[in-house]
Amino acid sequence: MEMEAKNEEILAVRDVTKCLFQFTQFTVLRCVIELGIPDIVENHPGKGSVSLAELSKASGALQPFLYRIMRFLTQRGVFKEVKMNGQDSSIGYAHTPFSRQLTKDRMAPLFLLMSSPEMVSSNLSLSKVISSDTPNLNGFETAHGVDLWKYNAENPKFSELFSKAMASVVSSYVSMVVENYPDMFEGIGCVVDVGGGNGTALRTLVKACPWIVRAINFDLPHVVALSDGGDDGRIENIGGDMFVEIPRGDAILLMSVLHDWDDEACVKILKNCRDAISKETGKLIIMDYVISDNLKNNDDIYEEFRLGMDIEMLSVTINGKERNTKEWDDILKAAGFTKYTIKYIPALISAIEAYP
């Protein structure tokens, strides 16, 4: 028994140490994204591999230091180390599926947002949030003096980063929903994307659904100013406030919006969505996180990330949270939606179809 306890302690120390260095990996990944390393490897003509010397020259990073960074990441399987032939250095690097996701047209914007000083300092304020008697306190406001949305409006560079980060994931969500439930958007002539950011998700949707004749990207004025709609004449950008009024359409789309708000605010948004669609033929499509009702016996590989996102909401929003099916039921019924269906897809989010 004594030996067993000793072994358990050794394993516990190992696990805690591993956890400590997760933040180190987090910062190193931000470093290589800022240097453009993943995109340099992606776009290099050398048959998928780049020598250390070439990588150093292209990124501007000092070669001895860059070697240590890449050694750290290759040991963890982020990049792959390869042998280079006919070049000054025998060390080179190639992509893995992991590192390829760090390019600027994939998940790099999201990573830069989550590792930004603004978001990290908000997370570091979490203990103050959960131990405070102050109503509506959140980590972001504790760290920066204003809430996330006001900070976004007052800081254009951060607002642009935030929009790009959201766009880097929402378009893939749209594609997954269309692929798994192709009939969800059938018969829709006009769709309104509420909180649509820079319009990336809407551009993905109208490309996949050519029968949509009008698509409205609706968000705060300073947010939609970042979108030009691309070259698709069906897309129109409209600035406004979802708490006041939402443009009318055959269907309203809410993607990763409601988890930012408490139940009272969500009911207000949902009522405005209901008012913007026909009671006979309109519908609301929600793409958001649904926490399992059975966490103990759940083999869904995405569940731990949904729970992690719930902690992010606790850190950076005022009473935002991820909801289970009972909590979704409560706010939808309170907003006057008479029926709804939750449709699961192999992703972090689920799709909810709701009808007045």
222 is catalytic: no
β-pair type (214-219, 235-239)? parallel
Catalytic residue among 44, 95, 144, 259: 259
Q: Judging by beta carbons within 10 Å of its beta carbon (0-12, 13-18, 19+), is residue 47 exposed, middle or buried?
A: exposed
- Stretches where the chain sits below pLDDT 50 are none
Which pLDDT belongs to residue 86? 59
The pLDDT assigned to 233 comes to 82
Please write the tens of the pLDDT for every residue from 212-247: 999 999 999 988 887 765 667 889 999 999 999 999
**Main-chain dihedrals φ then ψ at residue 66, nearest 5 degrees:** -65, -35
**Res 274: pLDDT:** 96
Q: How do residues 239-276 score in pLDDT, each as one tens digit?
A: 999 999 999 999 999 999 999 999 999 999 999 999 99
The domains of the chain, with CATH numbers, are 2-100 (1.10.10.10), 166-355 (3.40.50.150)
Provide the pLDDT for residue 133.
Answer: 74
- The whole-number pLDDT of residue 157 equals 92
What is the pLDDT at residue 293?
Answer: 79
For position 90, what pLDDT does the model report? 76
Helix (H) or strand (E) holding 273: helix 263-275
Secondary structure class of 287 (helix, strand, coil): strand
